[in-house]
Structure 1
Amino acid sequence: MGKKISVIIPTYCRPALLTECLKTLAQQHFDRDAFEVIVVSDGPDLLTKQVVVSWKHTSLLDIVYMPLDAKKGPAAARNAGWKLAKGPLVAFTDDDTRPDPFWLQQIWEAWAGEPLMAFTGRLIVPLPPAPTDYEWNTAQLETARFITANCVCTREALEQTGGFDERFEMAWREDSDLEFRLLQQNIPIRHLPDAIVVHPVRAAGWGVSLREQRKAMFNALLYKKFPKLYRKWIHPRPLWEYYGMIIFCLVMLGALLSGAGSVALLALLGWMILLTAFIRRRLAHTSRAWPHVVEMIITSVLIPFLSVYWNLYGAWRYKVLYW
């Protein structure tokens, strides 16, 4: 029997998470011989290889391990995976997800054999009663229009669009880039609410929101490629609040150095108003435990500077007027 669906999983040095994902794929209510799993390591990774080999020996999955020769990012890993795919449908998920037992069955039943077609499934992010800011932000993936944790393309659609743009070197905006190219080439994207993937939130250390700001450089690349779609579906306007906080800080510093105390006080007041609004917004749906509140206060002071820096760095790197 030929393969119907090829499942592509990019990963790197996360064998425990990958193992849990593979367990759910082994429990699919879908003919085992009708799908394959291609695990692509974003660089040589002995532990990941051992996990895949151990699963191959169980005969519970038709599974393949492929390492990239160097770390290039999940977009490059996914491209390497789908180019090996034997099935006419290529399903993408991540190593930290848990596909529903009927995930592949729902996908296959939805496809009518169209050569150029894409699907986006439903993502569920379980949250505790009082989530952290990081957990809450991760949960917003549930409302994403097209996300690589749960999407499917025909192989012909991937060949026509060229797959993922490997300039997106981190897990950020590469899914929207593929979505926009599908739309640009009039390839239909159908939502499958019953094709479910669960995405638990991974544990994150203190100040994770600061490290996350580096991803903002890829906003500029997506904007350069699709300015109208970017403004329509991603950010309808620049983050004026961030620029406002930075300007107030610079004015306050300049006023203090020049001895203009009243101007410095007014700038401090403006900065405090914007900062307080930002902190309140981050705490609106999240935990009020004091360690979390302290983290929100400290990181909220720094985030505007980091975000604007990485956005402007992206504008310089990709040679586009973007802020």
Structure 2
Amino acid sequence: MSAPTDVRLPTGFAASLSRRVKICDDGRSLVGGSAGSVLYLAPEAAALVRSDTVVADAGTAGTLARLLLDRGFADPSWSDPPGPDASVTDVTLVVPIQDRAVALGQLLAALPTQLPVVVVDDGSRSPHAVAAVCAAYGARLVSHSENRGPAAARNTGLRLVETPYVAFCDSDVVPEPGWLAVLRRHLDDPAVAVVAPRILGPLESAGDTWLERYEQARSSLDLGAEPAAVRVGGAVSYLPSACLVARVASLGSGFDEAMRVGEDVDLVWRLLADGWRVRYEPGAAVRHEHLARLGPWLARKSFYGTSAAPLAARHESAVAPMVLAPWSLVLMVSLLAQRRWSLPVGLAAAGVASAGVSRKLQRSEHPMRAAAVLTLEGAVATCWQTSAALTRHYWPLAVVAATLSPRARRALVAAAVVEGLADYRRTRPGLGPVPYVVAHRLDDLAYGSGLWLGAWRQRSVRALMPGLRGFRRSG
């Protein structure tokens, strides 16, 4: 279903500038946002952003707050606390499940008692255990005679929802107190279709294995500590369906039941294409039970990787492993070449890009400064993408190249070690650098294997193709 044409914010809805944003020219230009762009503001709007928070009204402030939220320059904010979860009365919870009755009991025990719950048993081998838990907590139970996948199970529950909003929770999560009230208030914005919390691992304990400690710091489901507008190619580009709260009217027929993995990413991208807004809110959190044994953990990571090919068939370049501007492609190639000319060519490419961007930023008082910021951010992103390409998406090709070329071997080893240590410093996990880097590389190898397996099954290399684009400039 397409988004409504009237998406004005309610009076009093506030938007606070993101920490990713730099205010320039006394508020007349903003640099950053969720996609690394520049936004120019009229004098009246510039005066409003100097306070960092814009409160929507029927005039300029409402228009500006809408713009800032949509472009990823601001996040919703509230002066009052959200209240208890028990105050939310217009949301129904849908839980898809196959067996896992004990985990279901833990989830239902953590929910506010007034919340209507629909549990969809998707072909459990022990359906009586699931039914007993549902009866104990007063949840409505619907059963599939055979397993049809989580997308179909969620859709079955969605069709039974009578409230305007629905929360999807997998059975292996336990919400933290306050999660629902925090997420629900995002839907006061009529343009928002879906909002998701931060998904954390279980609380640390002395008996945690190295793999559990890695997942606590680097789970594929944890999208970080910063709120964000979800957008393809942005700081947050998808949401996992382990926990989502959504506007029922926006979902249409719901998840694509042909997809056994990646159906959550597909739903989010379809909503964005239809004009809806999607939010990530780490101020709400749920705890997710991670796999603790190496074999199943690797299999799960590989399974995630197989989603790229069917997603590419539906959304094309949105799945690109790398997204490069022409100048950053030159920078990447020059660095990988490891020749005497590599550094000067890379610097020249960055200089040409910075000069080109500065010409587009003449409305700024300091166009070269703004261009330098964007170029530096692009160069850092290029280095990260190159490391990920060598160790994650294209590692089979990188390994073959490394057996044939000393330069390729040096590049692969440097990417594996330097990126791993940099990521270790960024995440600050509860384990040492060596086991962390080993786990990180195993994570990448498993995902990359799934990526190539999915491409082979799909008989398409679309999920492996990089994308090209230039700097974005918002008028």
Scaled by the length of structure 2, what TM-score is found?
Answer: 0.52
Instruction: Determine whether 1:118 maps to 2:193.
Output: yes
Superposed CA deviations along residues 271-311 of structure 1, whole A, max 9, x for unmatched, are: 5444434654565443545xx9469548837953x544422
Q: State the AA in 1 paired with 2:121.
A: S
Contact map agreement 1:220 1:311 (CA 8 A) in 2: yes
Using the TM superposition, give the Cα deviation of residue 219 of structure 1 relative to its aligned residue in structure 2, in angstroms. Answer: 1.2
Task: Identify the match of residue 164 of structure 1 among 255, 266, 271.
Answer: 255
Contact map agreement 1:207 1:295 (CA 8 A) in 2: no
Count of matched residue pairs: 291
Superposed CA deviations along residues 220-259 of structure 1, whole A, max 9, x for unmatched, are: 222222234434xx86477421376534543566x6xxxx
Question: Given the superposition, is the C-alpha separation of residues 148 and 235 from structure 1 closer, same or farther in structure 2, using an over 3 Å criterion?
Answer: farther
The corresponding residue for 1:204 is 292
* 1:252-267 equivalences in 2 (<5 Å): none
The corresponding residue for 1:258 is none
Contact map agreement 2:99 2:130 (CA 8 A) in 1: no
Give me the whole-angstrom Cα distance separating, in 1, the residues matched to 2:439 and 2:185. Answer: 50
Give me the whole-angstrom Cα distance separating, in 2, the residues matched to 1:214 and 1:124. Answer: 19
Using the TM superposition, give the Cα deviation of residue 44 of structure 1 relative to its aligned residue in structure 2, in angstroms. Answer: 2.8
The corresponding residue for 2:278 is 189
Find the residue that maps to 1:147 and give its secondary structure: coil
Contact map agreement 1:207 1:299 (CA 8 A) in 2: no
Using the TM superposition, give the Cα deviation of residue 78 of structure 1 relative to its aligned residue in structure 2, in angstroms. Answer: 0.9
Contact map agreement 2:420 2:440 (CA 8 A) in 1: no
Instruction: Determine whether 1:135 maps to 2:212.
Output: no
> Percent of pairs identical after alignment?
21
Instruction: Determine whether 1:39 maps to 2:188.
Output: no
The corresponding residue for 1:148 is 241
Taking only aligned residues, the RMSD between alpha carbons, in angstroms, comes to: 3.7
Give me the whole-angstrom Cα distance separating, in 1, the residues matched to 2:306 and 2:316. Answer: 15
Give me the whole-angstrom Cα distance separating, in 2, the residues matched to 1:163 and 1:313. Answer: 27
Using the TM superposition, give the Cα deviation of residue 12 of structure 1 relative to its aligned residue in structure 2, in angstroms. Answer: 1.8
The corresponding residue for 2:105 is 19
Give me the whole-angstrom Cα distance separating, in 2, the residues matched to 1:104 and 1:251. Answer: 50
The corresponding residue for 1:53 is 132
Q: State the AA in 2 paired with 1:250.
A: V
The corresponding residue for 1:223 is 312
Superposed CA deviations along residues 128-148 of structure 1, whole A, max 9, x for unmatched, are: 398632332227524355332
The corresponding residue for 2:141 is 65
Scaled by the length of structure 1, what TM-score is found?
Answer: 0.72
More helix by share: 1
Contact map agreement 1:275 1:301 (CA 8 A) in 2: no
Contact map agreement 1:120 1:147 (CA 8 A) in 2: no
Question: Given the superposition, is the C-alpha separation of residues 268 and 100 from structure 1 closer, same or farther in structure 2, using an over 3 Å criterion?
Answer: closer
Q: State the AA in 2 paired with 1:166.
A: E
Using the TM superposition, give the Cα deviation of residue 266 of structure 1 relative to its aligned residue in structure 2, in angstroms. Answer: 6.5
Find the residue that maps to 1:226 and give its secondary structure: helix
Find the residue that maps to 2:294 and give its secondary structure: coil
The corresponding residue for 2:454 is 314
Give me the whole-angstrom Cα distance separating, in 2, the residues matched to 1:193 and 1:271. Answer: 34
Find the residue that maps to 2:110 and give its secondary structure: helix
The corresponding residue for 2:400 is 250
The corresponding residue for 2:73 is none
The corresponding residue for 1:240 is 389
Q: State the AA in 1 paired with 2:200.
A: V
The corresponding residue for 1:286 is 429
Give me the whole-angstrom Cα distance separating, in 2, the residues matched to 1:252 and 1:221. Answer: 30
Find the residue that maps to 2:310 and give its secondary structure: helix
Using the TM superposition, give the Cα deviation of residue 19 of structure 1 relative to its aligned residue in structure 2, in angstroms. Answer: 0.8
Q: Which runs of 5+ in 2 are unaligned?
A: 1-88, 225-235, 325-384, 465-475
Contact map agreement 2:305 2:451 (CA 8 A) in 1: yes
Question: Given the superposition, is the C-alpha separation of residues 300 and 101 from structure 1 closer, same or farther in structure 2, using an over 3 Å criterion?
Answer: closer
Q: Which runs of 5+ in 1 are unaligned?
A: 256-262
Question: Given the superposition, is the C-alpha separation of residues 147 and 252 from structure 1 closer, same or farther in structure 2, using an over 3 Å criterion?
Answer: closer
Contact map agreement 1:230 1:236 (CA 8 A) in 2: no
Give me the whole-angstrom Cα distance separating, in 1, the residues matched to 2:200 and 2:312. Answer: 27
The corresponding residue for 2:417 is 276
Using the TM superposition, give the Cα deviation of residue 183 of structure 1 relative to its aligned residue in structure 2, in angstroms. Answer: 1.1
The corresponding residue for 1:9 is 95
Q: State the AA in 1 paired with 2:251.
A: L
Task: Identify the match of residue 152 of structure 2 among 76, 100, 107.
Answer: 76
Using the TM superposition, give the Cα deviation of residue 205 of structure 1 relative to its aligned residue in structure 2, in angstroms. Answer: 0.6
Task: Identify the match of residue 303 of structure 2 among 199, 214, 218.
Answer: 214
Contact map agreement 1:20 1:98 (CA 8 A) in 2: yes
**Greater alpha carbon shift after TM alignment, 177-186 vs 216-225:** 216-225
Question: Given the superposition, is the C-alpha separation of residues 193 and 279 from structure 1 closer, same or farther in structure 2, using an over 3 Å criterion?
Answer: closer
Using the TM superposition, give the Cα deviation of residue 181 of structure 1 relative to its aligned residue in structure 2, in angstroms. Answer: 0.8
Question: Given the superposition, is the C-alpha separation of residues 244 and 74 from structure 1 closer, same or farther in structure 2, using an over 3 Å criterion?
Answer: closer
Contact map agreement 2:240 2:265 (CA 8 A) in 1: yes
Question: Given the superposition, is the C-alpha separation of residues 176 and 299 from structure 1 closer, same or farther in structure 2, using an over 3 Å criterion?
Answer: closer
